[in-house]
Structure 1
Amino acid sequence: IPLAAVGYLDGTLAIYDVSSQSLRHRCQHESGIVELLWEETSPVVYTCSLDGAVRLWDSRSGKMISEYLGHTSEILDFALNKEASIVVTASGDNQAKVFCVQQPDR
């Protein structure tokens, strides 16, 4: 099933079924989503937000897989390494952080 993900400033992550043009899942951050990343070969959607958290979501179920905290301010940008095992974040608290990511089986 082809899916699309959209992050909103109200903290909503919406996952849509492209074929039927319908909302499949609605997930929630505590604050606005700044950016999202979605690996082409994985069901995992990565989000970062104004609440200083990185969250991993299962696009198939809409459930949060894991959460990475440590910033005292909003995350402004983030990136994944090629294997999607490391997330690097940059925050308004003038810090960069590196998180080792545990992913479920693909």
Structure 2
Amino acid sequence: MLQFTVKTCCDKGSLLEVFPFPKRRNTDKEITFPPWAATGSMDNKLIFWDLQHSSPRCTCDNEDGVTCLSWLGASKYIAAGCVDGKVRIWDSLSGDCVRILSGHSDAIQSVAVSADRNFLLSVSLDGTARVFEIPDFQ
């Protein structure tokens, strides 16, 4: 697995630079993750990035602006909180939206996965929080 810090351009949605993490002494844990990332924005785009090549791997057209993202555990799926109050589940390999979770009447502020990876929590500007089961995406 690669280790890096990413710097992006908010205006253009382009990957500017990838910086290696400096090796730290006296640590027994390192921050690691697969060589891809995802970004979402108010231009209704969700982009999956190939960080090894510093380029977009897949660009998905979302129905509304993306306000927040959370990977569903170690799976290939990502939850995208949206301005329209929906949470869309995307397959990072195919670029397909595989499920839409509803229940909010205003923009999603945050999405998070439970420690056991069985539940997805969404919080909205409508003042509500919703919990969805996600065992299908493990």
**TM-score between both structures, scaled by the size of structure 2:** 0.68
More strand by share: 1
More displaced 10-residue stretch of structure 1: 1-10 or 47-56: 1-10
Name the structure 2 match of 1:44: 77
Q: Identity of paired residues, percent?
A: 31
RMSD: 1.8
Q: What is the one-letter code of the residue matched to 1:18?
A: L
Deviation of 1:2 after TM superposition, in Å, equals 1.7
Larger Rg: 2
Larger RCO (CA within 8 A; separation ≥ 6): 1
Q: Does 1:91 align with 2:96?
A: no
Q: 1:54 aligns with which of 81, 87, 90?
A: 87
**Unaligned stretches of 5+ residues in structure 2:** 1-33
Mapped contact 2:120–2:133 kept (Cα < 8 A): yes
What is the DSSP-based 3-state SS (H/G/I as helix, E as strand, rest coil) of the residue aligned with 1:84?
coil
What is the DSSP-based 3-state SS (H/G/I as helix, E as strand, rest coil) of the residue aligned with 1:103?
helix
More displaced 10-residue stretch of structure 1: 65-74 or 40-49: 40-49
Q: What is the one-letter code of the residue matched to 2:71?
A: W
Name the structure 2 match of 1:73: 106
Deviation of 1:94 after TM superposition, in Å, equals 1.6
Deviation of 1:41 after TM superposition, in Å, equals 2.3
User: Could you list the runs of 4 or more consecutive aligned residues of structure 1 that deviate by over 6 angstroms after TM superposition?
Assistant: none
Q: 1:64 aligns with which of 81, 97, 113?
A: 97
What is the DSSP-based 3-state SS (H/G/I as helix, E as strand, rest coil) of the residue aligned with 2:53?
coil
**TM-score between both structures, scaled by the size of structure 1:** 0.86
Counterpart Cα distance in 2 of 1:77 and 1:8: 14
Work out the number of aligned pairs and report it.
Answer: 105
* Cα displacement string for residues 22-74 of structure 1 (whole angstroms, at most 9, x for unaligned residues): 21111122221111112562211111011111111111111112110111111
Counterpart Cα distance in 2 of 1:21 and 1:96: 36
Deviation of 1:86 after TM superposition, in Å, equals 0.9
**Unaligned stretches of 5+ residues in structure 1:** none
